[in-house]
Structure 1
Amino acid sequence: MTFPVVDIDPFDEQFLADPYAHHPALRDAGPVIWLEAIGCYAMARFAEVQPALKDWETYISARGVGLSDFAHEEPWRPPSLLLETDPPLHDRTRGLMNKVASLSGLRALQPEWRAKADALVTEVVSRGEVDAVEALAEEFPLRVFPDLIGLRDEGREHLIPYGTIAFNAFGPKNRLVEESMARGAEAAAWVNESCKRENLKPGGWGMSVYEAADRGDCSPEEAERLVRSFLTAGVDTTVNGIANLVHALAEHPSEWSKLRADPSLAKRAIEESLRWGGVVQTFFRTTSLDVAVEGGTIPAGNKVLLFLAAANRDPRKWDEPDRFDISRNAGGHVGFGFGIHQCLGQMVARLEMEAVLGALLDRVTEMRANGPAEFRLNNTLHALARVPVKLVPA
Structure 2
Amino acid sequence: MTAVRDIPVSDVDLFADDARVDPYPIYRELRDAGPVVEMARHGHYALPRYADVRAALMDWRTFSSARSVFVDEETNRTLEGITLCSDPPDHTMMRSVLGRPLRPDRMREIAPTIAAEADRVVDRVVGAGRFDAVADLAEHLPMAVVSTLVGLGEEYRGKLLEWAAAIWDVQGPRNQRFLDAGPQVGEFLSFAANDAVPGRIDPDGWAAHLYEAADRGEMPREKCPVMMLDYVTPSLDTTILGIASMIALFADHPDQWDALRADRSLIPHAINEALRIETPVPQFTRVLTEDHEIDGVALPAGSRVALLYGSANRDERKYPDPDRFDITRKPSDHLAFGRGEHVCVGMHLARLEMSTLLERLADRVSRFEVRGRTPMINNGLRGWEHLDVTVSPV
TM-score normalised by the shorter chain: which range applies? over 0.9
Q: Is the 8 A contact 2:68 2:77 kept in 1?
A: no
- The residue aligned with 1:125 is 126
Any stretches of 5+ residues in structure 1 without a counterpart? none
Counterpart-to-counterpart distance in 1, 2:194 and 2:121:
29
- The residue aligned with 1:41 is 45
TM-score by length of 1: 0.94
Q: Deviations over 1:83-110 (max 9, x none)?
A: 1000111111112222232221122111
Structure 2 counterpart of 1:5, from 9, 12, 21: 9
Higher mean alpha-carbon deviation, 265-274 vs 177-186, is at: 177-186
> What secondary structure is seen at the aligned counterpart in 2 of 1:172?
coil
Counterpart-to-counterpart distance in 1, 2:280 and 2:195:
25
Q: Which amino acid aligns with 2:53?
A: V
Counterpart-to-counterpart distance in 1, 2:34 and 2:271:
30
> What secondary structure is seen at the aligned counterpart in 1 of 2:154?
coil
Cα 1:80–1:280 shift into 2, 3 Å:
farther
- The residue aligned with 1:99 is 100
TM-score by length of 2: 0.94
> What secondary structure is seen at the aligned counterpart in 2 of 1:197?
coil
> What secondary structure is seen at the aligned counterpart in 2 of 1:368?
strand
Cα 1:193–1:346 shift into 2, 3 Å:
farther
Cα 1:219–1:26 shift into 2, 3 Å:
same
Any stretches of 5+ residues in structure 2 without a counterpart? none
- The residue aligned with 1:226 is 227
In the TM superposition, what is the alpha-carbon distance from 1:65 to its structure 2 partner? 0.3
> What secondary structure is seen at the aligned counterpart in 2 of 1:155?
helix
- The residue aligned with 2:253 is 252
Q: Is the 8 A contact 1:5 1:33 kept in 2?
A: yes
> What secondary structure is seen at the aligned counterpart in 2 of 1:22?
helix
2:355 maps to 1:351: no
Q: Deviations over 1:301-325 (max 9, x none)?
A: 1110111010000000001110001
In the TM superposition, what is the alpha-carbon distance from 1:131 to its structure 2 partner? 1.1
Q: Deviations over 1:230-254 (max 9, x none)?
A: 1122111111111111111112111
Counterpart-to-counterpart distance in 2, 1:246 and 1:76:
38
- The residue aligned with 1:382 is 382
Q: Which amino acid aligns with 1:63?
A: R
Q: Is the 8 A contact 1:128 1:390 kept in 2?
A: yes
Counterpart-to-counterpart distance in 1, 2:105 and 2:26:
41
After TM superposition, list the pairs within 5 Å mapping 1:147-166 onto structure 2.
Answer: 147-166=148-167
Q: Which amino acid aligns with 1:317?
A: K
Counterpart-to-counterpart distance in 1, 2:265 and 2:200:
41
Higher mean alpha-carbon deviation, 306-315 vs 343-352, is at: 343-352
Cα 1:185–1:96 shift into 2, 3 Å:
closer
After TM superposition, list the pairs within 5 Å mapping 1:24-103 onto structure 2.
Answer: 24-69=28-73, 73=74, 75=76, 78-79=79-80, 81-103=82-104
> What secondary structure is seen at the aligned counterpart in 2 of 1:57?
coil
In the TM superposition, what is the alpha-carbon distance from 1:297 to its structure 2 partner? 1.2
Higher mean alpha-carbon deviation, 27-36 vs 189-198, is at: 189-198
After TM superposition, list the pairs within 5 Å mapping 1:126-275 onto structure 2.
Answer: 126-182=127-183, 186=187, 189-275=190-276
- The residue aligned with 2:328 is 327
> What secondary structure is seen at the aligned counterpart in 2 of 1:367?
strand
> What secondary structure is seen at the aligned counterpart in 1 of 2:128?
coil
In the TM superposition, what is the alpha-carbon distance from 1:78 to its structure 2 partner? 4.4
> What secondary structure is seen at the aligned counterpart in 2 of 1:370?
strand
In the TM superposition, what is the alpha-carbon distance from 1:7 to its structure 2 partner? 2.6
Cα 1:99–1:141 shift into 2, 3 Å:
closer
> What secondary structure is seen at the aligned counterpart in 1 of 2:199?
helix
Q: Is the 8 A contact 1:234 1:344 kept in 2?
A: no
Identity fraction in percent: 37
Counterpart-to-counterpart distance in 2, 1:9 and 1:305:
13
Q: Is the 8 A contact 1:161 1:184 kept in 2?
A: no
Q: Which amino acid aligns with 1:60?
A: S
Higher mean alpha-carbon deviation, 361-370 vs 258-267, is at: 361-370
Counterpart-to-counterpart distance in 2, 1:388 and 1:180:
26
> What secondary structure is seen at the aligned counterpart in 2 of 1:340?
helix
Counterpart-to-counterpart distance in 2, 1:312 and 1:301:
26
In the TM superposition, what is the alpha-carbon distance from 1:75 to its structure 2 partner? 4.6
Equivalent pairs counted in the alignment come to 390
In the TM superposition, what is the alpha-carbon distance from 1:383 to its structure 2 partner? 2.6
Q: Deviations over 1:233-277 (max 9, x none)?
A: 211111111111111111211111111111121111111111011
> What secondary structure is seen at the aligned counterpart in 2 of 1:66?
coil
In the TM superposition, what is the alpha-carbon distance from 1:74 to its structure 2 partner? 5.4
Counterpart-to-counterpart distance in 1, 2:199 and 2:234:
22
Q: Is the 8 A contact 2:146 2:232 kept in 1?
A: no
Q: Is the 8 A contact 2:69 2:76 kept in 1?
A: no
> What secondary structure is seen at the aligned counterpart in 2 of 1:235?
helix
Cα 1:340–1:184 shift into 2, 3 Å:
closer
- The residue aligned with 2:318 is 317
User: What is the alpha-carbon root mean square deviation over aligned residues?
Assistant: 1.8
> What secondary structure is seen at the aligned counterpart in 2 of 1:301?
coil
Q: Which amino acid aligns with 1:290?
A: D
- The residue aligned with 2:343 is 342
Counterpart-to-counterpart distance in 2, 1:330 and 1:174:
34
Q: Is the 8 A contact 1:193 1:199 kept in 2?
A: no
